Structure 1
Amino acid sequence: MEPGRLRRRILGDDNYTFLTFSQNIDHSDPQKGTFKQRYEALFDYTTDNKTAILFIGGESDTFRPRAFNDYMATLCKEFNAAFFMLEHRYFGESFPTDLSYPNIKYLTVDNAIDDLYNFKVKMVEQYKMTDSKWILVGGSYPGLLSAYTRAKYPKEFHASIASSGVVIASNNYEDFDRQIAISLGQSCASVAREIRRRTDELLETDPDWLLATFNMTGLEKENFPLVLGEIFSLGAQYGRRQQLCGPLEDTLITGADPVMAIAKYTREIFTPNYADDDIIGTYSNSRLSVTSTPNGPRAWLWMTCNELAYWQVNSGRLTLRSKKVTQDFFLNQCKTVFSDEMKTPDTDAWNQKWGDLLKKTSRIYYLTGSQDPWTPVCYTAEDSDKIGPNCYVHTIVGQEIGHCRDLSSPQPSDPTDLTRTREHVKAVIHRWLAED
């Protein structure tokens, strides 16, 4: 599951015409030609074009016009900044090639980083922004891009905000499951484990009934354990734990069947809010074909199969995920969808390469949330020996502080630490902008 799925439910406007520019298909070989990459440029909040915020588009099929939300507008006003947003290659309508294998090979993190660099160079020229200071902002996978791009091009990008930036790749991500259990709490997690045990049995004895009860008729039964893991995780990931845990914990009091409780939650809350009202289209193997629409699931699967992994495997005896969800489960999916040549990504080598670079890089603000299951692959205070000089790292504490919560529009009900952190980020950016 991609870390930023909910974004595609809050982005998009069919009545807006985006700008495009010519981007290299392959930055290591410009002779491969160019493609049209979409972007947005907004100058409502700047008077001198001396500062720019580049909000990084990620693994989403849609691209919203204007500032991402009120918080982005707040930052632009605060720093007298121009606002840019670049759509990620192979998502939305920015396609260098089709998604067939091996054409999809041009979808790499390095190419995405070089897209940002090349975009910045061209925008500076087009809008006459010589000597401007650029701040990268991204959340989740774009948070990774924010930090990595600052590390690779420190002279071009002055600072970076990496919100829930998943800078640590993992091909055996057991900690995701463990963090979900912590976020759910002991009672809720215990019910979830009972549901996992029961549904594993039902997959063997009566899979048709199980899939029908969850309104998943048509889903390959081998994919059900993966979907169940998503059902347990996405509410906590996006700060909506109570929607899931309320009904599950009620079964401990009423004696109601927890399988029926999670099935009702799936039909009424999970599918409409986290599966685009189409759980089969979101999780079935059919969504991963070359011609399937939207294209995002196939493109993101390639990124995980090829480089980043983030394979959310079961975590042993107390796992919330089925014992069937293993490294081999994910590798087999990669081989089925793309090629038998696919291999398990070498995430140790990946983390060594980028970790060494990040350790030398200044002016990055790493942010996470106390209930975000992606925190184990983000930098936190425990990773102080890995961050560079003049950097900050903070885990925001508060009720239902999930994935990328700090980038959401500020609300009067926001936890105190979230409000305080946003103010501290602004103060730090002001200080960084005063530096050469």
Structure 2
Amino acid sequence: MATMRLSNPIFVFVSLFFVVGFTHGFVMTPRNLVDRLSESSYYLTTKELWFDQTLDHYSPYDHRQFKQRYYEFLDYFRVPDGPIFLKICGESSCGGISNDYLSVLAKKFGAAVVSLEHRYYGKSSPFKSHTTENLKYLSSKQALFDLAVFRQWYQESLNLKKNKPGADNSWFVFGTSYSGALSAWFRLKFPHLTCGSLASSGVVLAVYNYTEFDKQVGESAGPECKPVLQEITELVDRSLESNGKELRKQFGATELEIDGDFLYFLADAAVVAFQYGNPDVLCNPLVEAKKAGENLVAAYAKYVKDYYVGTFGVSVETYNQKHLKNTTVSEYGSDRLWWFQVCTEVAYFQVAPTNDSIRSSKVDTKYHLDLCKNLFGEGIYPEVDVTNTYYGGTKIAGSKIIFTNGSQDPWRHASKQTSSPDMPSYVINCHNCGHGTDMRGCPQSPLRIEGDAQNCSSPDAVNKMRQKMIEHIDLWLSECKGTGRSYM
């Protein structure tokens, strides 16, 4: 879903993704954070397993396949009829099954947990080069079919192990951010393959000009912090014109030669504090600097370098279009891939609203369209209307979907807004929560083991939301017990 530029948006689950969300709009899980997590108990398992996946599900003639990585965790599985939780990995490398709140749910329900890496990301690339031509099979539609085929294959392989041909465990699908959208869309398109789904901060609405994102950042910042951020933006815009080279150096971002790339980097750095439940790290020092009459740009540069690049671990090159044009395949090279999905399917263009914006107005629609053209060539354009027609946008008509949204999350405006009890699907809002708080806890960097809510500003709100989730999961699993599927 950066701070999902989805400002690049893991359960994604969009894989601490794991994505902590999208780069440029979704903030992906930084590489150094992945290293730290993999050496700890932040994963339930990191044992790689492999599955032969079809490259093009829509062609009756193309029978090419590629190796797709997946993981399974069976420690809590109630043999033989326990449910199977399918955790969707999203727009980044999937290094294992993260030990977040899903592990609590798996333990409670006696569930097996399986997680499939998204095509093209991590080690699941069908090609040895990510040229525009080779990326044509990278889409949410193909990814959903991947999940459906994998679900059937895994069930059959489990039946062979149990010597129970024809058995069907109850499946439930989980995802956060972009993976949250995939979770909802999977339930919409393949209702016969699952008992229900959780779409945590699920961004089901493709948006061409996403001005609500910036408006939410201002609202989440509050009356004291918001004007300071706006003043910093104004100072940066002026300084960029008069002394851009020195300004970039101050932020440790001399490689970002295109103004829009540099300004996007600065905007995402602010967003991540609100999106992932740690606003005080940003606002406290800036408000204090303002009161003391100190240099605000210098104070913001310190935050960007110390927290966004240092602690959170985001790489400046993520915003460099020269880097994004690189077609080399690498396990952690997710930036170009996500931009392709942005530039073809969902847009999520984070542009400044006409009035009262936080981010620079120089990061406009033209900047995004020029970026898409520069990275992928002529003719690449986000078909937002097609995407929303295919899935329904916020009017998605899928049944038995739980949509969870945090009031501080800029991505909540791209999620479903109202419950549809007749379907049924339910929206659960969490006051003072961020992106995927229900699954990850607070703050989300580093990830809280088992999604611990104690450090959230409103732990009672998080726990209340989780209790409602459990009630729906319990009901829907019981309604399809023995059949493994639910059509309504």
- Give the corresponding residue for 2:305: 267
1:147–1:358 Cα contact (<8 Å) kept: no
- Give the corresponding residue for 1:123: 154
- Give the corresponding residue for 1:256: 294
Code of the residue aligned with 2:51 in structure 1: it is F
The alignment partner of 2:348 has SS state of coil
Alpha-carbon separation, structure 1, partners of 2:184 and 2:395: 8
Alpha-carbon separation, structure 2, partners of 1:107 and 1:282: 20
- Give the corresponding residue for 2:461: 417
2:73–2:112 Cα contact (<8 Å) kept: yes
Residue 361 of structure 1: how far off its partner (Å): 2.0
Residue 359 of structure 1: how far off its partner (Å): 4.1
Residue 270 of structure 1: how far off its partner (Å): 1.2
The alignment partner of 2:479 has SS state of coil
Normalising by structure 2, we get a TM-score of 0.83
Residue 358 of structure 1: how far off its partner (Å): 6.2
What aligned pairs does 1:151-230 form with structure 2 within 5 A after superposition?
Answer: 151-222=188-259, 223-230=261-268
| Match for residue 84 of structure 2 among 52, 59, 66 | 52
User: Aligned in 2, Cα 1:373/1:137: closer, same or farther, shift over 3 Å?
Assistant: same
Code of the residue aligned with 1:146 in structure 2: it is S
The alignment partner of 1:185 has SS state of helix
| Match for residue 316 of structure 1 among 333, 342, 354 | 354
- Report sequence identity in percent: 34
Alignment pair present for 1:429 and 2:459: no
The answer for unaligned runs of 5 or more in structure 1 is: none
| Match for residue 111 of structure 2 among 81, 93, 97 | 81
Alignment pair present for 1:145 and 2:177: no
Code of the residue aligned with 2:476 in structure 1: it is W
The alignment partner of 1:301 has SS state of helix
Show CA shifts across 1:221-244 (max 9, x none). Answer: 421111121122111111111111
User: Aligned in 2, Cα 1:346/1:428: closer, same or farther, shift over 3 Å?
Assistant: same
Normalising by structure 1, we get a TM-score of 0.93
The alignment partner of 1:21 has SS state of strand
- Give the corresponding residue for 2:434: 402
1:151–1:358 Cα contact (<8 Å) kept: no
Alignment pair present for 1:7 and 2:17: no
1:172–1:310 Cα contact (<8 Å) kept: yes
1:234–1:274 Cα contact (<8 Å) kept: no
User: Aligned in 2, Cα 1:166/1:359: closer, same or farther, shift over 3 Å?
Assistant: closer
User: Aligned in 2, Cα 1:73/1:33: closer, same or farther, shift over 3 Å?
Assistant: same
How many residues were matched structurally? 426
The answer for unaligned runs of 5 or more in structure 2 is: 10-20, 22-26, 40-44, 441-450, 481-488
Show CA shifts across 1:201-251 (max 9, x none). Answer: 111110111011111122214211111211221111111111111111112
User: Cα RMSD over matched residues?
Assistant: 2.0
Code of the residue aligned with 2:452 in structure 1: it is P
Show CA shifts across 1:320-363 (max 9, x none). Answer: 111111111101001001112222x2323422331189643211
Code of the residue aligned with 2:360 in structure 1: it is S
Residue 32 of structure 1: how far off its partner (Å): 4.0
2:30–2:312 Cα contact (<8 Å) kept: no
Show CA shifts across 1:364-408 (max 9, x none). Answer: 00001111010110112xx346x761221011113xx21101111
User: Aligned in 2, Cα 1:253/1:425: closer, same or farther, shift over 3 Å?
Assistant: same
Alignment pair present for 1:300 and 2:338: yes
